[in-house]
Structure 1
Amino acid sequence: MSAHVMVFAPTPRLTVTVDQPADHPELHLHPGGQGVWQARMILSLGVPVTLCTSLGGEIGQVLEPLLISEGVQLRVVVRDSGGSGGYVHDRRAGSRREIVDVTGHPLSRHELDELYNLTLGEGLRAPVSVLSGPSHPDLVPADLYRRFAADLGANGSRVVVDLRGEHLAAVLASGVFFLKISHEELIADGRVGGDDEEELTRAMYDLHATGAETVVVSRAERPALALVDGEVFEVEMPRLEAADPRGAGDSMTAGVAAVVARGGDVRTAIRTGAAAGALNVTRHGLGTGRLDSITGLVERVRLVPAGSRPQERTTPDELAERAAER
């Protein structure tokens, strides 16, 4: 398999942003959505990307040439059942203000079958497959993700995910190589009650026991936590002033996928992902960054053993028992 990454992005979005950096307003049109932002950062790190997606309606017609211009190898299922979604943001005052958000339409059973076959074929040719979430949970069923994780993982592709809710539970049932999730998402999913480090650490061990080989939990302005080879680390790095706080998590996931696709170890991958996420928030474009800047920052990122552990954490024997029950 060549050193490239397959990104499954089932519901890309058209992003329209009104900005005014000088005297006159500007209008920016870009493809967006989690998978697109992840693919963009993987490309920024010098790793080729195959983007598997579905497009429909007028928005889909606009998105296709924009996606091609990103430099990805685009594989598309053209939809008959409905259109793609998007949003319009006004950033003239400095911060983003949402004008409208169009969700798009759920994929039909036929479209899901076509997208599954296309994506599986591309994923089997890639050493790393990134399964990005739909723009709304109702657009793509969670069981599709369970099947992807099972079939890709069983055939040698390392599966990387940044998911939550039913879609996360689905891939855990099959097992994944790497999971990135935020502490806010863990709270929303009811896996933790707050941002207490011991509780987050316990949740990471539980996620590992139920199917995630390596787990990273981002914590907004606090250092991320990483569970690697049974040990928890804090991901320490220099603090940088944010121009746009969105997109750090997607860039982190992309950095991990890019390094692993090229044969790098998971600790270097996490450090690279953290650097990519940190650099991304200093820019206004989501999933963007300069390779030389990211590479320079990696040297300043450290994985430091966490200073506290839960008193009743899951033991290695318990992890093995839970894995055997899956």
Structure 2
Amino acid sequence: MEATAAAKPILTLTVNPALDISTTTETVASGHKLRCGPSRLDPGGGGVNVARVVQRLGGRPLAIYTAGGPTGEAYRRLIEAERLPSLVVPVQGSTRQDFTVDETGTGKQFRFVLQGPELSEPEWRLCLALVADTIQPGGYVVASGSLPPGVPEDFYAQVARLAREQGARCVVDASGPALAAALAEGVFLIKPSRRELGLHFGTVLDSEQSELDAAMALVADGTAKHVALTLGGQGAVLASREGTLRLAVPQVRVRSTVGAGDSFLAAFVLRLAQGRPLPEAFRSAVAAGSATVTTVATELCHREDVERLEAELAAQDFGA
């Protein structure tokens, strides 16, 4: 997955990053001290994870993210250690933490996702200003992750408008009102899960046909040019005006699903930025998401694993 001089720039935006803490314990039970194993820290949050994976796969992204308080300082140090090109928006509140516990006795994973600090209007408007200043025509803007308190529901819609005005492609990975507002503005690509897309339409997607119909409905009405619907262990579906593609995931040992969706999106956007055909980008996305689930806790995919799985998937036929 080589980066080329012709690759289009990729800008990511994360307004609610999280310092990811992960550990293990034998059994999660109430009323007792839970003795844990070694812990690890990772800089998490949708857009930042996308940028980290793009960089691991040979791309050169630029990540915009907010940071504040002691956890924000720790977060910044982790980003700097990875030498990820970034712009930081200082905020008064403290960057949130997310906590993941793997129960070794059962193999279950427990994920605690905190709310995040409230952003003032000057803080979230500064995020938009940085996006406006750094968007490059023909490039990609990936707005990903939850919105913290204080940020309006149409925030990603405003990002999409900025991208369109400057001739860039906006990619949104969000849910609920934030996704609905972005779609009303019109975006290049969204990456919902089956549950998120079902909630958008107020229904349950319980069959392959219902999945295809929901994804194609957004393409047909022009709110999204492409819809990449992720289905966990059942693979993924891609809908666009060219039609639909379905791809199963390769057989891998699942250790943790944290960051799989972000890795999927990162590989997809990077391949498109490199000028690769849509089906090839889709295959790379499934490979990256699958590679991430083989890693422990909050670790993300590794390039060699992505390339190996991509080769395996190249032998598969796409389904419709």
TM-score (norm 2): 0.86
Alignment of 1:297-308 (within 5 A): 297-301=309-313, 302=316, 304-306=318-320
> What residue is the counterpart of 1:170 in the other structure?
181
For 2:46, which of 34, 40, 53 is the aligned residue?
34
- The separation in 1 between residues aligned to 2:186 and 2:124, in whole angstroms, is 21
> What residue is the counterpart of 2:29 in the other structure?
none
Would you say how many aligned residue pairs link Structure 1 and Structure 2? 302
Q: For residue 126 of structure 1, report the CA deviation from its aligned partner.
A: 7.1
- Say yes or no: does 1:51 pair with 2:63: yes
- The separation in 2 between residues aligned to 1:286 and 1:87, in whole angstroms, is 10
For 2:16, which of 11, 18, 29 is the aligned residue?
11
Alignment of 1:244-259 (within 5 A): 244-259=256-271
- The separation in 2 between residues aligned to 1:2 and 1:193, in whole angstroms, is 38
For 2:194, which of 180, 183, 193 is the aligned residue?
183
3-state SS of 2:42 partner: strand
* Fraction of identical pairs, as percent: 26
> What residue is the counterpart of 2:31 in the other structure?
none
- Say yes or no: does 1:289 pair with 2:294: no
Q: For residue 32 of structure 1, report the CA deviation from its aligned partner.
A: 1.1
Compared CA separation, residues 15 and 293, structure 1 to 2 (3 A) = closer
Compared CA separation, residues 192 and 97, structure 1 to 2 (3 A) = closer
> What residue is the counterpart of 2:33 in the other structure?
none
Compared CA separation, residues 222 and 288, structure 1 to 2 (3 A) = same
3-state SS of 1:181 partner: coil
3-state SS of 1:53 partner: strand
- The separation in 1 between residues aligned to 2:149 and 2:138, in whole angstroms, is 28
The answer on whether the counterparts of 1:41 and 1:287 sit within 8 Å (CA) in structure 2 is no
Compared CA separation, residues 228 and 125, structure 1 to 2 (3 A) = closer
The answer on whether the counterparts of 1:15 and 1:32 sit within 8 Å (CA) in structure 2 is yes
- Give the unaligned 5+ runs of structure 1: 307-326
- Give the unaligned 5+ runs of structure 2: 1-5, 27-35
> What residue is the counterpart of 1:313 in the other structure?
none
> What residue is the counterpart of 2:158 in the other structure?
147
- Say yes or no: does 1:96 pair with 2:109: yes
Compared CA separation, residues 103 and 128, structure 1 to 2 (3 A) = same
Q: For residue 219 of structure 1, report the CA deviation from its aligned partner.
A: 1.5
The answer on whether the counterparts of 1:124 and 1:157 sit within 8 Å (CA) in structure 2 is yes
Compared CA separation, residues 210 and 4, structure 1 to 2 (3 A) = closer
Compared CA separation, residues 148 and 286, structure 1 to 2 (3 A) = same
- The separation in 2 between residues aligned to 1:33 and 1:277, in whole angstroms, is 16
- The separation in 2 between residues aligned to 1:75 and 1:296, in whole angstroms, is 33
